[in-house]
Amino acid sequence: MSITLSVIKADIGGYVGHSESHPDVIAQAKECIAKVQKTGLLVDYHVTKCGDDLQLIMTHQQGVDSEKIHKLAWDTFVDCTEVAKKLKLHGAGQDLLADAFSGTVKGMGPGVTEMEFEERAAETILIFMADKTSSGAWNMPLYKIFADPFNTIGLVIAANMHAGFAFEVHDIKEHKKITFNAPDEIYDMLVFIGAPSRYMVKAVYHRETKEIAAASSTQRLALLAGRYVGKDDPVCIVRCQGSFPAVGEVLEPFASPILVEGWMRGSHMGPLMPVSIPNSTPTRFDGPPRVVALGFQLSGGKLVGPRDMFDDKSFNLARHQANEMADLMRRHGPFEPHRLPLEEMEYTTMPEVMKKLEGRFTELD
Ligand code: F6R
Ligand code: MG
Ligand code: MG
């Protein structure tokens, strides 16, 4: 059976500040989607949140980029924005950059990742969702999952994975894409994906079966809006088990927290902390950035689950390390490398300050 899995998300208002989603907003989203589900458009759905981002997880048979599915998401965000406005939530409707729907949510503010595949005898899916970070945050985890044998032993000892995976990489500044084969071309690939604010892993494919293994959202809000309106807070779908990495291999990169961009005012580096859904409440200095993972088995497109995968004691040390890293970064205050380089900052007063000080800069001898 061919099934499409769509994850579409938006920050349409924070409670309190940018730290959490209001239960009334989530309830409204569930109501909107439940109404549509009666029409048979969706096979199944799950509504959740990560920090201040509302997440719509949907299965259907409309294929990727379906206008009907995107419209359902857009209409849901619009209805939820009404609730957010009534409650005067912070930044109500902030990710809805357009006034009206025009065929797709792409380029309109929400983040989206979708994949269509033949459901396997056992279809194990992990959905990662992050808050207070930007779209390139999945580059290193996806590299480790699908190209690093120190993370994924299956690449070495499982015959059905030994041929490796192909990475589709997008240059989001030049709007170009390229595919790299791992392991053959990992040195070339790392030149690019090691710069995650520009080059992003969009999808990963099995090299022998050509099946899709992973897909991520690569929308960059700041580039879309031409100004800061919020962080991308990206999502990523990974298929697991069989000829794909095992669940534990897919979760493993998050046991060693890395530094990502997007903390406070979208202008700071901070550790990506793996947490349960209830703990996706970035409060300290509006962070540190969070990642959650929901696991499902699919059965005829029905979402069996979720399991809250980081709600596990084996990630306690990662959380502790992330807090230590957060302290270390905070020590730098307004200095790099905590603060992002000038051209990457989402907020800046540089033009105004420069103007004010015009004439006070003199030539060096
Ligand atoms: C970071 C984030 C927050 C806000 C900050 C200021 O991604 O969302 O750190 O940037 O709270 O928010 P505004 O400008 O909405 O008052
Ligand atoms: Mg927000
Ligand atoms: Mg957010």
Residue 240: the pLDDT is 98
Predicted local confidence at residue 174, as pLDDT: 93
How much is the average pLDDT of 70-93? 97
235-240 and 259-262 beta bridge pairing = unpaired
Supply the pLDDT for residue 350.
85
pLDDT reading at 229 higher than 70: no
Asked whether residue 80 carries a pLDDT value surpassing 90, the answer given is yes
Ligand 1 — pocket residues by CB below 6 A? 17-18, 91, 132, 230-231, 262, 264-266, 286
Average pLDDT over residues 246-252: 98
Q: Return phi, psi of residue 362, to 5°.
A: -120, 160
Q: Which of 14-18, 22-26, 103-107 has the lowest mean pLDDT?
A: 103-107
Quote the CA–CA distance of 102 and 342 in Å, as a whole number: 34
Query: By alpha-carbon position, which residue is closest to atom 6 of ligand 1?
Result: 265
| Inter-residue contact 169 to 138 (CB < 8 Å) | no
Q: Percent of the chain at pLDDT above 70?
A: 98
CA of 205: how far to CAs of 87, 111, 157, in Å?
Answer: 44, 21, 19
Alpha helices of the chain — where are they, by DSSP H? 23-37, 67-86, 139-147, 154-157, 186-193, 221-225, 247-251, 263-266, 316-330, 350-356
**Residues with Cβ < 8 Å from 120, sequence gap 6 or more?**
242
Q: How far is CA 234 from the centre of its chain?
A: 2
155, burial (CB in 10 Å: exposed 0-12, middle 13-18, buried 19+) = buried
Residue with tokens 């929400």: 110
- Indicate which residue of 231, 232, 233, 286 is catalytic: 231
Residue 70: phi, psi to the nearest 5? Answer: -65, -35
pLDDT value at residue 99: 84
pLDDT in tens, 261-294: 999 999 999 999 999 999 999 999 999 999 999 9
Residues 32-45 have a mean pLDDT of: 94
Summarised one tens digit per residue, pLDDT across range 97-131 is: 888 888 999 888 999 999 999 999 999 999 999 99
Q: Which of 252, 259, 308 is nearest to 287 (CA)?
A: 259
pLDDT of residue 71: 96
pLDDT, average across residues 308-326: 98
The 3-state secondary structure of 150-170 reads: CCCCHHHHCCCCCCCEEEEEE
Cα 82 to middle of ligand 3, angstroms = 18
Looking at residue 1, its pLDDT comes to 84
Residues whose Cβ atom is located within 5 A of ion ligand 3: 11, 51-53, 131, 233
What is the structure's pLDDT at 347? Answer: 77
Residue 183's Cβ-count burial label (10 Å; 0-12, 13-18, 19+) is: middle
pLDDT of residue 98: 87
- Of 265, 268, 272, 344, which is best to mutate to test ligand 1, by the most ligand atoms within 8 angstroms of its C-beta? 265
Q: What pLDDT score was predicted for residue 225?
A: 67
The per-residue pLDDT for range 151-193, each reduced to its tens digit, is 999 999 999 999 999 999 999 999 999 999 999 999 999 999 9
Q: Give pLDDT, residue 227.
A: 67
pLDDT(222) > 80: no
In percent, how much of the chain has pLDDT > 90?
Answer: 87
Structure tokens that stand for 204 in this block: 């990963």
